[in-house]
Amino acid sequence: SHSSLLCYRYNAETMSKTFNVLFLT
């Protein structure tokens, strides 16, 4: 439950950063 939210938030941030890098490149 709680760890699930943290994991989702972490994955969302990581995906956002990766997407930004791929998009900018």
What residue ranges do the domains of the chain occupy? Answer: 1-25
d(CA 21, CA 5): 24
CA max distance for the chain: 36
For the whole prediction, is pTM greater than 0.75? no
**pLDDT per residue as tens digits for the range 5-25:** 888 999 999 999 999 999 887
| Secondary-structure percent of the chain, ordered helix, strand, coil, rounded to 5 | 90, 0, 10
Q: CA dihedral in degrees (10, 16, 18, 21; nearest 10)?
A: -150
The reported pLDDT for the residue numbered 13 is 93
